[in-house]
Structure 1
Amino acid sequence: MIEFRMPSLGADMDAGTLLQWQVAPGDAVHRGQVVAVVDTAKAAVEIECWQEGRVFELLIQPGDKVPVGTPIATLLEAGGSAETAPRRPAPVAARKAAQPQTPNPPPAATPGAAPATRTRITPVARQRAAELGIDAATLTGTGPQGAVTLADVEAVATQKPAVQPATAQDRHAAMRQAIAAAMSRSKREIPHYYLSETVPMAVALAWLAAYNAELPPERRLLPGVLVLKAVALALGDYPQLNGYWIDGAFRPGPGIHLGVAVALRQGGLIAPALHDVASKPLPQLMEELGDLVQRARSYSLRSSELSEATLTVTQLGDQGVDGVFGVIYPPQVALVGVGRIAERPWVEDGRVCALACAQFSLAADHRASDGHYGASFLAEVRRRLQQPDSL
């Protein structure tokens, strides 16, 4: 028996509300399959399953809010049998909508009283009830011997309001609280150190202009994609900045998955992961970045995109700021900040000239690396951007 639990989608999540099941008891599931949609403080997130098996029980219903780590479903492993598998009690869950109160609650059971009989329900009705998130025990059957039929389930479904995600106003308030909690934890627990370097961008911009010259607007690259690729390639040489601090030790990331800070239109910030950045060509990264930003701003992301970033990059140059000194998002151990690209006085070959530059910063966890290591990393990012052909 495999327990499928409410996943943690970051340091700022302590609970999630189930919006919808995408599977029903008896369904086969495979690695990476979306099995549910969960509402968090930041988005309605598609939850992926990372085990192989067959759905045995769905333990919570749409509208239930449960803490991270709570079992929400069970799966049968290959060769497992539903007849011999033990059933788990459903977890205690907070309902999103208030439940109607019973005017005269039934008296408490007395010692020696006969236990309640199990609800009679046809197999097809049980599966349909699970799909719709309806508790079969609450249904009244009209079939033989009072059995619940498919028609009974459908009749209730037409009367049951769908569970809706949080409103934009509610989500924004919850997001600010979640961000405050995560950043407070970060500054309290992580011994930050900060470094910055002014990086010449003229060579990269000239290469970019030549590359984009013959392309239609929808296929052109933005400078931010060059930055992401340079950071990812540099992390290959400086792996102590790419990973997590968990249980008192550094754990390398499973790949180079960069969290991309996205400002939301209603306010707030989210940093979903762009996966395997170092190994992807620039046009593919540009396409995936555009899709990720669009889905982040429409609150439609996958659980792997919110939980697997190994380092976050925040680029605020479009806001006109010269530099960004960010707060590390735990359990990550580093964050790269990039300010605006602008012409600045620059000394080259003994002469002062105007050169397009940007200030790059590094916020890093002193438990996982030190200033010398971080400085070498920034120097490598700078070197990569002077050789845009190699990106």
Structure 2
Amino acid sequence: MIEFTMPSLGADMEAGTLREWHIEPGDYIEHGDIIADVETQKGIIEVECFDEGVVEKLLIKEDEKVPVGTVMALINPVGGEEREEAVVHEKPEKMHETRREPVPHVVSPVVEHHRIKISPLARKMAEENHVDYTVIKGSGEKGAIVKEDIEKAISQEEEQPKSTEEKPGTTTNFREAIAAAMTKSNREIPHYYLEIKVDMSKSLDWLAERNKQRQVKERILPIALLIKAVAKALQQVPDLNATWENGLVKKPEINPGLVISLRTGGIVVPAVRQADRKSIEEIMETLNNLIPRARSFKLRSSEISDGTVSITSLGEGGADRVYGVIYPPQVALIGLGSIKNEPWVENDMLGIRPVLSITLAADHRATDGHTGDRFLKALRQQLLNPEVL
């Protein structure tokens, strides 16, 4: 039996409040399915499950505060024929995905889900497109929400201008969460800082060339290239892609977390998962999806908890450099200043170049200055050769 426990969604999190289950006993769930909404100081987070099986029992009631690590549900793992039988029985719409041979069409029944009637297909569409189906009036039998209702809601949302305003009343909670994490960082982590300057001429020229044929909304911003360069440098210096948990724990995936400032105050640090395996275009697409959801508090649990290193960027017109504070239990934070024209000497010739100051804040328990220096040099080399990214 698999025990699903309340995940830790940050070093400062001790407990979360279960607001809604998206599953019931008997449901078949797959890797990555959203199974619950949990409220933390960072807002309502969609919690995923990374196991596969049939829900045996829900142990926690909605609106109950749950400490991190508490068992919330029991999942019975299934495989082979048992798995196929469970898929056919519980989620007929998935049968076409899991079986190659033709199967007869099965009409998805309308089910009651926490007092809201919604068909399984409509619910799946709503979750994939981040549509809040709890506010939709269903047009199906007895007011049930059906596929057409979700499609209508999606089209209406696309017609309206995207809002990036944060929900009111959350600033205080975010500030408290940030204060707790930063206090822990300053109290427990012995920081050391290093800085390097990089001539960004080649990188910016490369981006300009790639953006020539793109529409404005499709253009690649420098931050996407910088995230990719950081990820590739971490491949060379993996000790900084790690956490400190009674010792150095290197992470197999490179998931840089980007610090996103909220307009009403506070920050959130969602992860760009497996950035080393994504192209720069794919990273840009991820950011275009991630940033609006972060600012409207619609992040998933993995996006909050999976970060292996943090990047803070001040963007254009900001300060020359930033000296950050490490987000525990991570062991490093990369600070990106504003790209500014500065005098630059190369081959004994003085010129003006677009220069980026990159700082590294690192945990002295985990690494030393030599490791940090190797990382910054590797990062500079990546940015001087953007075509290899």
- On whether the aligned pair clears a TM of 0.5, the verdict is yes
| Larger-gyration structure (1/2) | 1
C-alpha deviation, 1:250, in angstroms = 0.8
Superposition pairs for residues 153-232 of structure 1, below 5 Å?
168-232=167-231
C-alpha deviation, 1:53, in angstroms = 2.1
Aligned to 2:297: 299
Alignment partners' CA distance in 1, 2:56 and 2:179? 38
Alignment partners' CA distance in 1, 2:14 and 2:317? 31
Aligned to 1:257: 255
Q: Which amino acid aligns with 1:38?
A: V
Q: Which runs of 5+ in 2 are unaligned?
A: 80-110, 117-165
Aligned to 1:157: none
Q: Which runs of 5+ in 1 are unaligned?
A: 80-126, 134-166
Write the deviation string for residues 147-168 of structure 1: whole angstroms up to 9, x where unpaired. xxxxxxxxxxxxxxxxxxxx94
Q: Which has the higher helix share?
A: 2
Write the deviation string for residues 305-338 of structure 1: whole angstroms up to 9, x where unpaired. 1111111111013351111111111111101000
2:321 maps to 1:323: yes
Q: Which amino acid aligns with 2:114?
A: E
Work out which of the residue numbers 122, 131, 137 in structure 1 matches 2:114. 131
| RMSD of aligned Cα (Å) | 1.9
C-alpha deviation, 1:187, in angstroms = 1.1
Aligned to 2:331: 333
Write the deviation string for residues 144-202 of structure 1: whole angstroms up to 9, x where unpaired. xxxxxxxxxxxxxxxxxxxxxxx944321111111111111111111111001111111
Q: Which amino acid aligns with 1:321?
A: A
Aligned-pair identity (%): 47
Write the deviation string for residues 202-245 of structure 1: whole angstroms up to 9, x where unpaired. 11111111111121112211111111111100000000000111
Q: Which amino acid aligns with 1:131?
A: H
Aligned to 2:283: 285
The alpha-carbon distance between structure 1 residues 280 and 55, as it changes in their structure 2 partners (threshold 3 A), is same
Alignment partners' CA distance in 2, 1:171 and 1:318? 27
CA contact (8 A) 1:219 1:283 kept: no
Q: Which amino acid aligns with 1:240?
A: D
Alignment partners' CA distance in 1, 2:203 and 2:49? 41
C-alpha deviation, 1:132, in angstroms = 4.6
Q: Which amino acid aligns with 1:32?
A: G
Q: Which amino acid aligns with 2:253?
A: G
Alignment partners' CA distance in 2, 1:77 and 1:320? 51
CA contact (8 A) 2:199 2:356 kept: yes
Aligned to 1:43: 43
Alignment partners' CA distance in 2, 1:72 and 1:170? 28
Write the deviation string for residues 293-314 of structure 1: whole angstroms up to 9, x where unpaired. 1110110011111111111111
Write the deviation string for residues 316-374 of structure 1: whole angstroms up to 9, x where unpaired. 13351111111111111101000000101111222322110011000011111110110
Aligned to 1:148: none
CA contact (8 A) 1:23 1:131 kept: no
Write the deviation string for residues 106-141 of structure 1: whole angstroms up to 9, x where unpaired. xxxxxxxxxxxxxxxxxxxxx95x8359xxxxxxxx
TM-score calculated relative to the size of structure 1: 0.76
CA contact (8 A) 1:244 1:250 kept: yes
2:26 maps to 1:26: yes
Give 4+ residue runs of structure 1 displaced > 6 Å after superposition: none
Alignment partners' CA distance in 1, 2:300 and 2:252? 18
Partner SS state of residue 35, structure 1: strand
Q: Which amino acid aligns with 2:327?
A: Y
Aligned length: 310
CA contact (8 A) 1:323 1:360 kept: yes
Partner SS state of residue 322, structure 2: coil
Aligned to 1:4: 4
Partner SS state of residue 288, structure 2: helix
Give the stretch that moved more between structures: 39-48 or 233-242: 39-48
